[in-house]
Amino acid sequence: MTTAPVSPLLQHAMSEALAEAQEAARADEVPVGAVLMHSQTGDLLVRTQNRMRRDHDGTAHAELLAIREAARLLGDRSLLDYTLVVTLEPCAMCAGAIVLGRVGTLVFGAWDDKAGMCGSVGDVVRHPRLNHRPEVRGGVLEQECSSVLKEFFATRR
């Protein structure tokens, strides 16, 4: 896991993902947002957010939607040249999709000690038997990402 200082490019990308998370919260979705950007240029290809309630689909997580849309736009399932930036550590389903989509780099904000599968509960994305393992960086703008989730759930208790 990378622990270097956060670059302005990653800060900007995570800010965009946070904006998506806040929009999801306004739609009464669990506030998780994601962006997929070209790793070299920083150009944003896709912006998404959780849509499980709106789409009546338990698999409509921000990460999965970003991977699907990027593959459709690029006409290629391999996303080696791209960085997925998401506000919450991916679950097992999303971690598997990150591996299968061959995402080059994963960056996430808040750690998920209940369902996170990129270092917290388990580590699907770096399993040694898999043929693709993305670079992973967790804890980027962690406080801001955690706050969005805490505020959302505080209003529901």
Residue numbers belonging to the annotated binding site for Zn(2+): 61, 91, 94
CA–CA dist 37, 83 (Å, integer) = 5
The tokens for 129 are: 């038997």
List alpha helices for 27-155, DSSP H. 52-55, 62-74, 92-100, 142-154
Give the annotated binding-site residues.
61, 91, 94
Instruction: For residue 63, indicate whether it is catalytic.
Output: yes
Q: How many CA atoms, within 13 angstroms, populate the side-chain half-sphere of residue 72?
A: 7
Element (H or E) spanning 84, and its range? strand 82-88
Q: Report, in angstroms and rounded to the nearest whole number, the Rg of the chain calculated over CA atoms.
A: 14
Catalytic residue of the set 16, 20, 29, 63: 63
CA–CA dist 154, 83 (Å, integer) = 31
The catalytic residues are 63
